[in-house]
Structure 1
Amino acid sequence: MPRFQDVMEHFPFEPEDKAPMLIRKTDYMHHIYPPNNAFTSDNNYLIVSTDTLLLGIYELAPGGSFEPIDIHPGDEMYYILEGPVVQKSNYGQYVEIQTGEGLLIPQETWHQGNNFSDHKVRILFFIAPKAWGEDVPPKVFPTADDTKTFKGRKNGQIPDVSGVQGITRMPTTDDLGRWPIDGRAARQKPSNIWRITDQDKLVTLLGNDSPMLMKFTVSTDYGHMGEMIVPPGGGKGPRCSEPTSHEGDLVLYCMEGPITVNFPERLESFIMEPEESIFVPAGEAYQLVNFDGYPVRAVFAIAPGL
């Protein structure tokens, strides 16, 4: 059994072998992190790790948090599958995120998740363009004292981020690529983490003749994460989204299904059940098809371009 650090950017295929692929839940690669201390670990499932993005799920036990505090050379985005979770950054910002909400953690921002509930927390996480640098994992981590807390021992040594503002307005389609903040601005030090509630999501439609609802939790120059929702009812046939493709690689994670993913140019399709995923390489045309009498929904992660 390979270790997760040995398959980074090569799971479930080599970058040169990218093709549409259905990835079942049983295909996800399980590991705990950190692997050398189960007492402070989270439960991880790696779904995809390519040269452009990483998508996975991590779980926190009731009352638990992961240690050491984490950091990545890319932006990290969350979609909360089962919350709530309290996330902290190294500059003393704490946000409580509920089921269905999102989070943006800018590049190289230290962060840590805490579960203060009586049930397991599950988070779909997406990192682009890179999840790890040359050191996997990094050799140096901060301690709890290196982050601001109420009357923390090192509070006076840590930069003040009180002037960094949060979301203040409703987004439009023109904000794609810069929501909830321009990525380059978000990465300036000292940096903040950004909670995206359901009311904060950038809502738009794909297609005019057969529209599909899209809700972006995050859309920056590094990557895009959100939901695709296909309603029921197609008249004489099933309801279909209009064929589209992306400049970057796409991974879909099925929340409510089944969802049929059709590749019209390949004359090929896959059925995606809840908790399964599909990888779609850049430039590949696809459409989502709903054969049922209720809405179907998938979380999407795209990197780098729409």
Structure 2
Amino acid sequence: MKAPRCWSAGSARSTATSASSVWGASCTVVTPIASRLRSIAFDPSSERNIMNRRATPRPEYDTPTLVTQGNVTRHLWGDEESGRVGDEVLISSHELHALIFTLAPGGRFGHSPDNRTVFAADEVYAVLEGTIAVINPATGQTVRAETGDFVFFRRDTWHHGINWGEGPVRVLEFFSPPPAAGAASAYAKEQPYLARTLHGEPEAIGHWPMDRAELAGAATMTHLRLGDVRWRAEGDLQVGLVCSTEYLTVTWSKLLAGQRSLERSHEGDALVHLTRGELHVHTPDGNGPNWWRLLPGESLAIPRGFAYQMVNQSGAPIEAVIASAPGYLSGGAGG
């Protein structure tokens, strides 16, 4: 297995450790030494372990770290009642939680007493591939999102997902406040259980499209395409604001061939996920690697306060989804 791709005065090395999967098989997790990945201790007596479930792993980083298919942390969420979903956990710090989940054709997830999908967090789904129906089973609101679309919802929104496409669906999920703040299962288990679910809005029958405004006003989820975002010109960087709350900011960003962003840093932890092209990132701070190469599907985790500059050295555009939590740019650069 190859070490993460980065170039600096000293090359990064990696170590491998063996862990058991939920099926009892052995898997290998590769941890770059240079990134100093911290594993948050898991306390068996904590309230997060009271339910019959396995807690999602929490990879957290001290320095900028490249996350690839070779070193990503994998986890199987759910049970027979809720459905099981394969997660690739990109970061789960005390400020930001991000993962990619995959649903096979015909796949779906719901909830169960042990795996409840209602959290004290703002969330964004960025559809990387395929078509997904995102459903609030408490109200019946259903959003059909395709590749390149986003779905945003705030705390206390129950949510289910169904693969409505002919192939797999892959979704990049951002979540803040994160599980480390008690906003996930620790919070969900304290909420009244949703026993009756709706997968369509009863109020729409006999009233659509005449009562469009009333139904829109009652919506708990927002479906956004690129035509719906708020645009910003940050030097060469084209920035589409998907959401910006007191807890979470998510943007879609683009650099044309030969362009570079301004040097920037965030008020909290951040993640850059490349969806198109070949991107280089310069991270001038710290003693570790400072020149990174990302290919589509790879991410760079950037801890709070670290500066970085995105550089497109290729002859084609790059596109990326970037999240930071909390806040956006440091030093009052968010205006």
TM-score (norm 1): 0.76
Where does structure 1 lack aligned partners over 5 or more consecutive residues? 153-160, 167-189, 234-238
Please state if 1:142 is matched with 2:142: no
Measured against aligned partners, the alpha-carbon deviations of 1:155-191 in whole angstroms (never above 9, x if no partner) come to xxxxxx973646xxxxxxxxxxxxxxxxxxxxxxx76
| Superimposed CA distance per residue, residues 24-69 of structure 1 (whole angstroms, 9 cap, x where no aligned partner) | 22221222221x3398212211110000010001111212210316
Distance in structure 2 (CA, Å) of the matches to 1:138 and 1:254: 31
Rounded Cα–Cα distance in structure 2 between residues aligned with 1:92 and 1:7: 27
Matched, 1:57 2:109: no
Alignment map for 1:287-306 (pairs within 5 Å):
287-306=309-328
**Per-residue Cα deviation, 1:214-257 (whole angstroms, up to 9, x for no partner):** 11221211101122211113xxxxx3211111112110111123
The answer to whether residue 180 in structure 2 is matched with residue 128 in structure 1 is no
**Which residue number corresponds to residue 273 of structure 2?**
253
* Amino acid across the alignment from 1:214: V
Question: 2:284 — aligned with what?
Answer: 264
Q: How many residues align?
A: 261
1:91 aligns with 2:135: no
1: distance between equivalents of 2:306 and 2:314?
A: 25
Q: CA deviation at 1:278?
A: 0.7
In structure 2, the residue matched to 1:40 is: 83
Deviation at 1:85, TM superposition (A): 0.9
In the alignment, structure 1 residue 112 sits paired with structure 2 residue 160: yes
Aligned residues of 1:72 and 1:130 also touching (Cα < 8 A)? no
Question: Which 5+ residue runs of structure 2 have no aligned equivalent?
Answer: 1-18, 23-52, 204-211, 329-335
- Distance change in 2, residues 1:265/1:130 (3 Å): closer
Is contact 2:56-2:77 (8 Å) kept?
no
Distance change (3 Å), C-alpha of 1:151 and 1:104: closer
Q: Which segment drifts farther, 55-64 or 259-268? A: 259-268
Q: CA deviation at 1:7?
A: 5.8
- Whether contact under 8 Å (1:41, 1:67) holds in the other structure is no
In 1: Cα distance, 2:151 partner to 2:199 partner: 19
Higher strand proportion, which one?
2
Q: Residue type matched to 1:213 in 2?
A: Q
**Counterparts of 1:141 and 1:25 in 2: how far apart (Å)?**
36
Sort the Cα spacing of 1:248 and 1:28 in 2 relative to 1 into closer, same or farther, 3 A.
Answer: same
Q: Decide which of 69, 76, 80 is 2:127's aligned counterpart.
A: 80
Q: Which residue of 2 aligns with 1:197?
A: 225
Cα distance in structure 1, aligned partners of 2:322 and 2:75: 23
Contact 2:54 2:77 (C-alpha < 8 Å) held by counterparts: no
* Distance (whole Å) between structure 1 residues aligned to residue 260 and residue 314 of structure 2: 11
Structure 2 residue corresponding to 1:224, chosen from 249, 257, 260:
249
Q: Do the aligned partners of 2:92 and 2:178 also contact (CA within 8 Å) in 1? A: no
Q: Contact 1:76 / 1:127 at 8 angstroms: preserved in 2?
A: yes
